[in-house]
Amino acid sequence: MRVHVDPSKCQGHNRCYALAPELFDVDDYGNAFELNDGVVPAGLEDKARLALANCPEFAISIEE
């Protein structure tokens, strides 16, 4: 599984970083980006889905 934050949609709500800091980080301006090229380590798939389900701007996508 891979996650991706669309930087043109992200407005810095920081929900993904709060819910899944293993998968996402934020820069000094609060813009989110995926860690480890978006590769989701085994066992963290639910966290990836939770981040997607809580992004108000629909900026996160998942490739299964």
Partner 1 sequence: MSETVYGPVTDWATDFDHASPAYAADMHKIWDDLKNSGCPIAHTDRYGGTWLPLTHELVHEIAYDTAHFSSQGPVVGQLKPSELEDSVPAPIGGAPPISSDPPFHAEARRLLLPAFSPKVIDPWREEVITICNQLIDDMGDADHIDAALQYSQHIPVMVIARMLGLPVEDGDKFRGWVNLVLSGIGEERTEARMQQFMEFNEYLEFHVNDHIENPRDDLISFLLNAEIFGEKLSPRHVAGSVILLLIAGIDTTWSGIGSSLWHLATNSVDRRRLVENPDMIPAAVEEFLRAYAPVTMARLVKEDMEFHGVQMKKEDWVLLPFPAANRDDKQFANAHEVVIDREENRHAAFGLGIHRCLGSNLARLEMNVAVEVFLQRFPDFSVDANEIVTWSTGQVRGPRSLPFVVNARA
Among 22, 35, 54, 61, binds partner 1 (CB under 8 A): 54
Q: How far apart are CA 21 and CA 17, in angstroms?
A: 5
By C-beta, is 21 or 41 nearer to partner 1? 21
Is the Cβ of residue 9 or residue 36 nearer to partner 1 in the bound state? 9
Which 32-51 residues touch partner 1, going by CB under 8 A? Answer: 50
Cβ(48)–Cβ(23) under 8 Å? yes
User: H helices of 1-64, where?
Assistant: 15-19, 45-53
Chain residues in the site for partner 1 (CB under 8 A): 11-14, 17-18, 26-30, 50, 53-58
